[in-house]
Amino acid sequence: MVLKDAAREVFRRLMDAVAPALIETAASALRAVDGVRDVGQLRMRWIGHALRGEADIVVDPHLTVVQAHTLAVAAEHALIHAVPRLTAATVRTDHTPGSGDPHAVLAHHAR
């Protein structure tokens, strides 16, 4: 039984699988950051014995670039503290939609 469980865990790691509970922990940590309005895509993967993350956060559209960057750094910091073995994360800021979707130009690439 121990060997079977160990083999399953090794297979999951080889496939970069991350436990859903860790994703939920990360999403909760991001939502708790002051200034984060919502969380978009959130991805994590194993690289050896460490986790690496990517997250999209929704912020106020009136923030300056510097303010949005500061918020992204705070979100990364919160993730590193909340998720065991997470060593770094790339956090991308997006704004609440106003007039039109700024990502519409990319829609034809999504398949």
The residue with tokens 């970069």 is 16
| Confidence (pLDDT) at 16 | 53
* Tens-place pLDDT, residues 10-26: 444 444 579 999 999 99
Helices (H) and strands (E) in the chain, counts: 3, 3
Cα 2 to Cα 22: distance, rounded to the nearest angstrom = 23
Q: Which CATH superfamily is domain 18-97 in?
A: Cation efflux protein, cytoplasmic domain (3.30.70.1350)
Given this model, what pLDDT does residue 4 score?
A: 54
Ranges under pLDDT 50 in the chain: 7-8, 10-15
- Is there a contact between 47 and 86 (Cβ–Cβ < 8 Å)? no
pLDDT score, position 12: 46
Q: Give the residue carrying structure tokens 């050896």.
A: 48
Q: What is the pLDDT of residue 100?
A: 66
Q: Report pLDDT for 15.
A: 46
pLDDT for res 94: 92
Q: Quote the pLDDT of residue 5.
A: 54
d(CA 17, CA 3): 19
Q: Where are the domains of the chain?
A: 18-97
- Burial zone of 31 (CB within 10 Å; 0-12 exposed, 13-18 middle, 19+ buried): middle
Q: 42 is written with which tokens?
A: 């959130």
Region for residue 85 given its phi and psi (left: phi exceeds 0; alpha: psi -120 to 50; beta: otherwise): left
